[in-house]
Chain A
Amino acid sequence: MNPFQVLRVAIRALLRNKLRSFLTTLGVIIGVAAVIAMVAIGEGAKARVADAFASMGSNILIVLSGSTTTGGTRGGFGSLPTLTWDDLKAIRTECSAVRYATPQLRGSASVISEDQNWGTTIYGISPEFFAIKDWPVANGTTISQSDIEGGTKVVVLGQTVVEKLYGPSADPVGQTVRIKNFPFQVIGVAERKGQSVTGQDQDDVAFMPYSTFQAKIQGGLQKFVPGMVMVSANSSDDTVRAERQMTNLLRDRHHVPIGGDDDFSIRNLTEMMTAQQEGLNTITSLLASIALVSLLVGGIGIMNIMLVSVTERTREIGIRMAVGARPRDVLAQFLVEALTLSCFGGIVGVLLGLLFANLLASHFSWPVLIRPDIIVIAVSFSGLVGVVFGLYPALKASRLDPIDALRFE
C-alpha cells in the first residue's frame, strides 16, 4: 500500500468511532493548547517587562549618594550627600563605558496655568536626560545646554500635566506657567511614555534645567548633587564595565580606603531586567513543562485506545494478513492511525491554544507573543507522542499470528 492509501484506511477506521477518536485526541488537544497558551502568556509577560524597562531608558545605571548614620539610625542611600558636581563631570569625562550622564533632582510643586493648577513631580535634569531615557519631545524643543548654563526659567511638560492644565490634545508651547511663584515658559511637551514598571504615570511630570531647579525649587549645598545621577552605558554589554569604572572612580575621588564600604551606591537596571527576564523564563518553562506532561498523558490515552482497538480488530487483522498484508503493512496501518489522532490533536490544539492565548491577552490586556517555533515544536512533539505511544500497539498488531487472529471471536 502507498502512504496515501494507508492514511485513507486509517482515517476511515478512526471515523467509525468518531466520539471515541475525538475523546482520545482530546488529551493531545488540551496538552498542545496548554503549551501554546502558556508559552504565549510567558512570552507576553516577558515582552511587557522588557517594554517597561525599555521605557526607563536603555542600559541605565543609577548612582546614589551614601547614607547618614545618626545615633545608630541609618538614613538610607541618598540621605548623606556624597556625590559632587565634580564627580558628575569626572564620570562624564573619565568613564569610557559611560555614554551619557545626567543629574536627576526631584521635587514636587504645583504647576499653575492661567486658569488651572496641577501638583506634579518636578525634575531638574541636564539635556542628556532625554537621550538616556530615549524620550523625545512631541512638540517644541527640549532643554539645551545654554538653558543649564543660563539657569533659564523654561519647562518641558509631560502629557498628563498638559491634559490637566490645558485639556487633551492642546499645544501649550509658548505659554507661561507659574511654579513656586516663578513664571516658566513652556518650551516643549514630552512624548507619551505610559506606565512605569511600578505602575506610576510617567507622564505626570515637568522637567526644567537642574541649575534652575536648584535655584528656584529646592536649594541645596552647592557642592553636592541633591539627588541622583543617571547614567547610560554605551551598550548593554558595557553596563557592568561602566559600573566598575564608576565604582573605582568614585572610591578614588572620595578617598575610600581599600576594604572600606562605598559611600555611594550604583544600581544596574539592565542587570535587574535580565534577572527579571530570567525569572520569567523559568516560569515560562515551568508552565510549558507542566503542559508537556499533559501532552504525555494524552499520548498514554492514545496508546490505551490503540491497544483496545488492536484487540477489537484482531479478526480484521487476521483477514488482512490472510489476503496478503505483511506484518509491516499492519504495523504501518496502526501507527498511522495513532499518528493521525495525535497530529489532528496537535493541529486543533494549536488553534485552541492561539484562541485561548488571545482571549487571556484581551482580558488582562497583556501582549501575547505567539512564537512560531513553539507551534512547530508543539505539533512535532505531538507527532512524536503519536509514534512513541502508537508503536507498541502497532507492533502488537503486526506480530499477531494470522491463524489465531482469524479464529479470534
Chain B
Amino acid sequence: MAAPLIEVAHLSKVYRMGDVEVHALRDVSLTIPEGQSVAVMGPSGSGKSTLMNILGCLDRPTAGSYHLVGEEVSTLDRNALARLRNRTLGFVFQSFNLLARTSALENVELPLLYSGVSGRERKKRAREALEKVGLGDRIHHHPNQMSGGQQQRVAVARALVTHPHLMVADEPTGNLDSRTSVEIMALFQELGRSGITLLLVTHEPDIARYASRVVVMRDGLVQSDRQQSPIVADVAAAAAAAGGIA
C-alpha cells in the first residue's frame, strides 16, 4: 500500500499572546489516505483552524511531525512551504479571497504565475479549470460581476488549476445559501471521484455529511474520528427545495 497522503504525529501548536501561552493544538495524530474526503468539525477555539493552517502549510507546528506525500514539512522554511502550497495544495476560503478588479481567468492563472508556467499554457489550463467548474462562459467576468456561488467556483478552479493532491476548504459554504452550498459540495464530490483528497473545515453538520470521514476537534485534541458513507449532493433536489420555500 502506498504511503498515506497526510501523516501527522503528536502535533502541537502553542501561541504566545503576551504572557499567556495558548495551546491551540495539544497532541494530534492523524493519517489521511489519498482520495479521502475529511470533514474537520468542532466549536470555535477547538483548534480546527490551527490544524487546517498547519496541514495547509500556511503555518508550522511547535512540535510533532507532519509528512505530506512522504515529505517531512514541519521543519521547512517559508520559501519551501510556499512552493508546496503552490504545487501540492489548493485552497478554498469562506470569503472566496479572489483578487478584486481581476478577471476570473486571471484569478485562476495566479498559482501558475508563481510556478513559472508560460503564458499560453497558463491561459489554456486556467480556461480548462473554469470549464470544469461550469464557468466556461464567464472567464472574463470580474468577481463583483458574479454571484457568491460563482465566485466560489472561481476559487475552486484556482485551487484546481495546479492539479493538487490536497484541496483544503475552510468553511467553503459559510457565505452561501443552502442551494448554492449543495452545488459547491456536489462540485467537491465530483473532484473527489477524480482522486483529489479533500480537507473540509466546517461547523455545519449538514455539510459534514457529504464527507466520507468526520474528525471532531475539542480543546486542541481529536475528540472523535469516524468513517461514514457520505450522502450524495443532489443539486436538483436542493433546487426544488429552494423553489418550494420561495
Contact = CB atoms under 8 A, between A and B. Distances in A.
Interface in A380-409: 402-403, 406
A5 B113 contact: yes
Given A16-B101, A328-B79, A403 B113 contact: no
A315 B95 CA distance: 11
Given A403-B53, A403-B58, A403-B59, A324 B114 contact: yes
Determine chain A's interface SS by DSSP, over half rule: helix
Interface stretch (B86-94, B126-134, B195-203): B86-94
A25 B162 CA distance: 38
B116 interface: yes
A318 B111 CA distance: 13
Nearest to B161: A323
Contacts of B59: 403
Classify chain A: how many residues form its interface, as a range.
20 to 34
B23 interface: no
A316 interface: yes
Contacts of A374: none
B213 interface: no
Nearest to B82: A326
Contacts of B87: 324
Interface in B157-195: 158, 162
B115 interface: yes
A1 interface: yes
Interface residues of B, number: 24
Instruction: Give the most central of A322, A326, A328: most B CB within 10 Å.
Output: A322
Interface string A312-329: 000110111111111111
Interface string A222-262: 00000000000000000000000000000000000000000
Contacts of B116: 1-2
Contact of B58 (A315, A320, A322, A328): A322
B99 A323 contact: no
A331 to B, nearest CB: 11
A58 B1 CA distance: 97
Contacts of B110: 319-320, 323
B97 A402 contact: no
Contact of B85 (A2, A16, A323, A327): A323
B114 A322 contact: no
B124 interface: no
Contact of B82 (A2, A315, A316, A325): A325
Contact of B114 (A315, A316, A318, A329): A329
Contact of B99 (A316, A328, A329, A406): A316
Nearest to B101: A16
9 contacts: A315-B97, A319-B110, A320-B110, A323-B110, A323-B114, A324-B85, A324-B87, A325-B114, A327-B78
| A-B pairs with lowest CB-CB distance, top 3 | A324-B86, A323-B111, A326-B82
Interface of B: 53, 58-59, 78-79, 82-83, 85-87, 91, 93, 97-99, 101, 110-111, 113-116, 158, 162
Interface of A: 1-2, 5, 16, 315-316, 318-329, 402-403, 406
